[in-house]
Amino acid sequence: MSDPLRDPDTAAALRYIAAEAERYLGSLAQRGVRLPQADAIAASLDERMPETGDGTMPALTELVRAADAALGSAGPRFFHWVTGGGTAAALAADWLTSALDQNAFAYESSPLASRCEELALEWSKDLFGLPRSWGGVLTTGATMANFVGLAAARRWWARRHGVDVDERGYAGLPVVPVFSSGYIHVSATKALAMTGIGRSMVRRLSRDAVGRVDLEALDTALGELGGAPAIVVGNAGEVNAGDFDPIERLADLCERHGAWLHIDGAFGLFAAVSPRSAHLVRGVERAHSVISDGHKWLNVPYESGFAFVRDASLLHGPFALEAAYLPPPGARPQFGALGPEASRRARAIPVWATLRAYGRAGYRDMVERHLDLAQRVASRVDAAPELERLAAVPLNIVCFRYRPQGLDESALDALNARIGAAILADGRVYVGTTRYAGRVAFRPAIVNWRTTETDVDLLVAVIREIGAREAAR
Ligand SMILES: Cc1ncc(COP(=O)(O)O)c(C=O)c1O
C-alpha cells in the first residue's frame, strides 16, 4: 500500500474511530487516569517509518491500541495543571473541523471559519464582560494569546517613543519597563522572551512570599518613570491557589500613570461568568489587552485560546502580511493577519458550537458547580486532621498539604513531594504538587465539565490513603 488514493475508505475509518472514541470516553469515569502500562505502550510504537505502509485500518488499529498510553485528561479525575476536557458539542464540532479542513486565514479562504471566529469572539467578549468594540483573535492557547497581547503592548510602547518597532526593531530604544506581581505566569514571561522584551526584564512587585502585588511599590515604580510608557501584567487567576491581582486597583494605577494593562485570565477570566465570582475580575474592561483559554474552562479540545485587544489596529503591526497572491486586506476579516499564524486551523468552529449548545446559562451552571466542588474539597481538607489548607479558595483551586504531627518544614516538603509522586504513579486521580510560599503543596484545579462530587471525594480519599502510607514508611 503506498498512495493514499488506493485506500480511500474514509467512511470506514471515521466509523471505526467514532466507535473507539465513544468506548474510550465511556470508560473515563472508571478507568485510572494513568494506566500502569502507559510507558510500555508508548515505547512499543515502532521507531522505523515504514517504506511501504499497510493502509489506513492497520495504522488506526495500532493507534487505538496505543491509546492506553494516553492520560485520562479528557476525564473527570484529572486535577493536574489547569486542564479542561471537551464538551460533546465542542468535540463533535472539532471532528467536523478536521473533516472540513478549512484554512482560517481569511474570509476568502473560508467564509465559515471567518464567520465562526467573528461570532466566537463577539460571544466570548459578552461572556467575559468586555466591550464589543475591542478587537481579538483566536490563538492556539493562552501562551500565544499572552504573546499577542504583549506584542500589541510592545507596539504601543515603541510608538510612544516614536518608533515602529515591528518595522524597525528595537535598535535605539530603551529597555521596556514591565511590572507584575509574583503571580505572573511562566507563559507571560515566555511571551516576554518571544516579543524580545526579555523574560527576566519583568519586575515582580510582591509584598509577601505568596506573591501578592505590592500596589504602593507599583505606584512608586510607575511614578519614577516620569510619564514614560510601561507595561503592567495583571493576573486574573494564579495557578497555585486561584487568587487574583486586584484588577480595579491595577487599572487605577495604569490610568494614573498612562501604563498599558495586560490581563492574563487563562482560566480566571471565567469568574466573570457567575455573579458569585464576577467581583474577582471587576475592572477587566479597563485593561488594554486581556487573554483567556478555550482548552481550559471553556472545555474545548486543544488548541484554543483568546486574545482581546482594546485597540485592534495595534495587531496589524506585528501580524500583518501582504503578498500579491493573497487576498488584499479589506472589508472582510483576515484573522491570519491579526495573530501569529497565517494558515490556521478553524478553531473557532468548536468554540462557536459549545457556546451555541450551552449558552451563557450553561457555562454559568458549570462554573458554579466547579466553585461548589472546590468548596467541597476545602471542607473535606479542613475536616481531616492530617491535612492543612494553605490558602483561601476564591475560585476553583484548593491549595493544601499533608501535615502529620511532629515533622519539621523540610521533612513535610519531602513527604508531600513523595506523596505527590506516589499519587501520579497510582493513577486513580491525577494531581501534582507545587510550591506555595516555599512549601510543597497540592493544588487540584477543577475545570473539567465531567467532574462530580464522587470524583472530588475520591481525590481527597486517595491523598489521605497514600499520605498515610507514605508517612508510615
Ligand atoms: C494563568 C495562566 N496563564 C497562561 C497559561 C498558559 O496556557 P496555555 O498552556 O494554554 O498556553 C496557563 C496555563 O496553565 C495559566 O494557568
User: Residue 116, SS3?
Assistant: helix
The C-alpha atoms of residue 144 and residue 344 are separated, in whole angstroms, by 13
Contacts of 176 (CB under 8 A, 6+ apart): 154, 157, 197, 198, 201, 230, 231
The C-alpha atoms of residue 294 and residue 5 are separated, in whole angstroms, by 36
Kindly report, residue by residue over 178-192, the tens digit of the pLDDT: 999 999 999 999 999
**CB of 185 closer than 6 A to ligand 1?**
yes
DSSP labels for 99-115? HHT--TT-TTT-HHHHH
User: Residue 442, SS3?
Assistant: strand
**CB of 266 closer than 6 A to ligand 1?**
yes
Kindly report, residue by residue over 234-278, the tens digit of the pLDDT: 999 999 999 999 999 999 999 999 999 999 999 999 999 999 999
- 92-356, what's its fold? Aspartate Aminotransferase; domain 2 (3.40.640)
**CB of 269 closer than 6 A to ligand 1?**
no
DSSP summary character for residue 326: S
Domain boundaries, the chain: 92-356
Average pLDDT over residues 293-301: 98
Q: How far is the CA of 187 from the centre of ligand 1 (A)?
A: 6
Using H for helix, E for strand and C for coil, what is the string for 404-439? CCCCCHHHHHHHHHHHHHHHHHHCCCECCEEEECCE
Average pLDDT over residues 134-160: 98
Q: Which atom of ligand 1 is nearest to the CA of 82?
A: 14
| 79, 147, 194, 293: residue to mutate for ligand 1 pocket, most atoms within 8 A of CB | 293
Kindly report, residue by residue over 45-55, the tens digit of the pLDDT: 999 999 999 99
Q: Which atom of ligand 1 is nearest to the CA of 265?
A: 1
| 144, 180, 187, 284: residue to mutate for ligand 1 pocket, most atoms within 8 A of CB | 187
Is the peptide bond prior to 303 cis by the omega test (within 30 degrees of 0)?
Answer: yes
**CB of 293 closer than 6 A to ligand 1?**
yes
**CB of 305 closer than 6 A to ligand 1?**
yes
Q: Which residue, by CA, sits nearest to atom 2 of ligand 1?
A: 266
The C-alpha atoms of residue 384 and residue 442 are separated, in whole angstroms, by 15
> What pLDDT shows up at residue 462?
98
Kindly report, residue by residue over 358-412, the tens digit of the pLDDT: 999 999 999 999 999 999 999 999 999 999 999 999 999 999 999 999 999 999 9
Burial class of residue 369 in the structure, from the number of CB atoms within 10 Å of its CB (0-12 exposed, 13-18 middle, 19+ buried): middle
The C-alpha atoms of residue 43 and residue 47 are separated, in whole angstroms, by 9
Average pLDDT over residues 340-351: 98
**CB of 149 closer than 6 A to ligand 1?**
no
Q: Which residue, by CA, sits nearest to atom 8 of ligand 1?
A: 142
The C-alpha atoms of residue 179 and residue 232 are separated, in whole angstroms, by 5
Taking residue 54's Cβ as centre, other Cβ atoms within 10 Å add up to 11
**CB of 290 closer than 6 A to ligand 1?**
no
- How many Cα atoms occupy the beta-carbon half-sphere of 294 within 13 Å? 35
Q: Which residue, by CA, sits nearest to atom 7 of ligand 1?
A: 142
pLDDT at 347 over 90: yes
Average pLDDT over residues 12-33: 96
Query: What are 16's three cell numbers?
Result: 471505526
Task: Return the H-helix or E-strand segment holding 459.
Answer: helix 453-471
- Residue 214 φ then ψ, to 5°: -100, 95
pLDDT at 135 over 90: yes
Q: How far is the CA of 140 from the centre of ligand 1 (A)?
A: 11
Query: What are 20's three cell numbers?
Result: 473507539
- Band (pLDDT 50/70/90 cuts) for residue 332 is confident
Contact 287, 310 (CB under 8 A): yes
Taking residue 368's Cβ as centre, other Cβ atoms within 10 Å add up to 15
Kindly report, residue by residue over 157-170, the tens digit of the pLDDT: 999 999 999 999 99
The rounded percent of the chain whose pLDDT value lies above 70 is 100
| 185, 281, 291, 302: residue to mutate for ligand 1 pocket, most atoms within 8 A of CB | 185
> What pLDDT shows up at residue 390?
98
Q: Among 72-81, 85-94, 299-308, 320-329, which is the least confidently predicted range? A: 320-329
